[in-house]
Chains A and B, each alone.
Chain A
Amino acid sequence: MTSIKLRAVVALFGLALVCAAQAQQAAAPKKAATQTKKAANSSPSAIAAEFEKFRDIMEDASPAELFEAKGEELWKMKRGPKNASLEQCDLGQGRGVVKGAYVRMPRYFADADQVMDAERRIVYCMVTLQGFKEADLAKKPFSSGSHTPDPVSLVTYVAANSRGMKIAVPQKHPREREAFNVGKEIFNYRAGPWDFSCDTCHGESGLRIRTQDLPNLTSKKEAIAAFQSWPGYRMTGGLMHSLQWRLNDCFRQQRFPEPGYVSETISDLMTYLGVNANGHVYKGPGIKR
């Protein structure tokens, strides 16, 4: 138990230092908080409903499928310094088994002695099997312009192979339970110039920022939002993004330092969010506005 606590505290202490430095430039934190609350009292967003209609129409023409196809090609192709494919990669269901792996991650992997989410595991396999360097993959980890990083296409392919399946993020191994607890602690940790935590924006139903509805990720009913339509094709800019990006961007919105690429922090948070969403049916990669 103490080791769990310690890990969270050490990680958060690092965050707190940077945040303290930023706090000096803080602009009226109270005001920002009241504005969020005010927006919450308006009626449900009509724009969100319109977008849902659009998403339905686009369902069988979703550009996300292009990245699924690209990911499949990358999965099966011999690549990297070791000229190997990823077909020997174990995503937790046995070597090379892609079906159903995504809805059962993050999970504990004994070979790495780590709890890993899908993207983290894929990067681990790219490093161990294909000989890529993690530092290189971390250089430009998110989609921009015409660049889609390989792990993003790969995670889209893996996620597509869990389409229509129930989310079942495991909590058997002690390390998986530890990841849940640390994730929960990070989710509720308030700091930074606005004194925000994830919970500030995602701990209550009915909140929104401008036209964006904010899902309550702590409620059984809405927690599915952390999975549904991710990885997602964003109509804005026509970019494919994984959850790795979404969480990273929320750290940024929270005015926190951004976590490292495929870091333990992200896996822990995803474990917390995933367990909350357990039992919901995952519809596969989708479209985001």
Chain B
Amino acid sequence: MADPMRIRATAKDGGINVKILMAHEMETGQRKDSAGKPIPAHFITHVSAMWQGKEVLSANWGPAIAKNPFLEFNFKGGKKGEKIQVTWTDNKGEKRTDEASIN
């Protein structure tokens, strides 16, 4: 089971600032374990953020992003108390969605 994310959404300068921490190994597929066997690739391929049923961020990711990634972005619109949902999907088809209120 995928582990929870940490999401912070704050109203700032007329927009919303969103900070997301994701728990993921982000294994590139290029590394070998101590026995010399390749470690299979396992990384997030897509991140999406929804606000009021509208997608405010859609990002395609690859193996070049570090373990336990951090993502920050801003969008226009949104007010305190409204909700943001973030979903990531990885190359094994695993998914995790978490939600946070704007404050």
* A-to-B contact residues, CB < 8 Å: 60-63, 65-66, 68-70, 72-73, 146, 238
From residue B38, how far is it (CB to closest CB) to chain A in Å? 15
Please indicate the chain B residues that have their CB under 8 angstroms from the CB of A63 in the complex.
Answer: 21, 68, 70
Which residue in A60, A68, A72, A238 is a CB contact (below 8 Å) of B68? A238
A60→B19 CA distance, assembly (Å): 9
CB atoms of A69 and B3 under 8 A apart: yes
CB atoms of A66 and B21 under 8 A apart: yes
Please indicate the chain A residues that have their CB under 8 angstroms from the CB of B19 in the complex.
Answer: 60-61
Q: What 1/0 flags go to B58-78 for Cβ under 8 Å of A?
A: 000000001110101000000
Q: Does B82 contact A (CB under 8 A)?
A: no
Q: A61-B70, A66-B68, A238-B68 are in contact. Are A73 and B21 (CB under 8 A)?
A: no
From residue A160, how far is it (CB to closest CB) to chain B in Å? 11
Please indicate the chain A residues that have their CB under 8 angstroms from the CB of B68 in the complex.
Answer: 63, 66, 238
Can you report 30 A-B residue pairs in the complex whose CB atoms are below 8 A from each other?
A60-B8, A60-B19, A61-B19, A61-B21, A61-B70, A62-B21, A63-B21, A63-B68, A63-B70, A65-B6, A65-B21, A66-B3, A66-B4, A66-B5, A66-B6, A66-B21, A66-B22, A66-B68, A69-B4, A69-B6, A69-B23, A70-B3, A70-B4, A72-B4, A73-B3, A73-B4, A146-B25, A238-B66, A238-B67, A238-B68
A124→B68 CA distance, assembly (Å): 30
From residue B70, how far is it (CB to closest CB) to chain A in Å? 5
From residue A63, how far is it (CB to closest CB) to chain B in Å? 4
Please indicate the chain A residues that have their CB under 8 angstroms from the CB of B8 in the complex.
Answer: 60
Instruction: Determine the main DSSP class of A at the interface with B.
Output: helix
Interface positions, chain B 27-75, Cβ under 8 Å from A, are: 66-68, 70, 72
CB atoms of B23 and A70 under 8 A apart: yes
B residues contacting the other copy or chain, number (CB 8 A): 15
- Closest partner residue, chain A, to B69 (CB atom): A63
Please indicate the chain A residues that have their CB under 8 angstroms from the CB of B23 in the complex.
Answer: 66, 69-70
From residue B26, how far is it (CB to closest CB) to chain A in Å? 9
Of all A-B residue pairs in the complex, the 10 with the closest CB atoms, nearest first, are A69-B4, A66-B23, A63-B68, A238-B67, A65-B6, A61-B70, A70-B3, A146-B25, A69-B6, A66-B21
Known: A60-B8, A61-B21. 18 other contacts (CB 8 A): A61-B19, A61-B70, A61-B72, A62-B21, A63-B21, A63-B68, A63-B70, A65-B21, A66-B3, A66-B6, A66-B21, A66-B22, A68-B6, A69-B3, A69-B4, A69-B5, A69-B23, A70-B3
Please indicate the chain A residues that have their CB under 8 angstroms from the CB of B66 in the complex.
Answer: 238
Q: Which of A63, A68, A70, A73 has the most CB atoms of chain B within a 10 A radius of its CB?
A: A63
From residue B92, how far is it (CB to closest CB) to chain A in Å? 13
From residue A39, how far is it (CB to closest CB) to chain B in Å? 32
From residue A204, how far is it (CB to closest CB) to chain B in Å? 36
Please indicate the chain B residues that have their CB under 8 angstroms from the CB of A69 in the complex.
Answer: 3-6, 23
Q: Which of B5, B67, B68, B70 has the most CB atoms of chain A within a 10 A radius of its CB?
A: B68
Please indicate the chain A residues that have their CB under 8 angstroms from the CB of B21 in the complex.
Answer: 61-63, 65-66
A70→B98 CA distance, assembly (Å): 13
Please indicate the chain A residues that have their CB under 8 angstroms from the CB of B3 in the complex.
Answer: 66, 69-70, 73
A73→B2 CA distance, assembly (Å): 12
Please indicate the chain B residues that have their CB under 8 angstroms from the CB of A61 in the complex.
Answer: 19, 21, 70, 72
A66→B20 CA distance, assembly (Å): 10
Please indicate the chain A residues that have their CB under 8 angstroms from the CB of B70 in the complex.
Answer: 61, 63
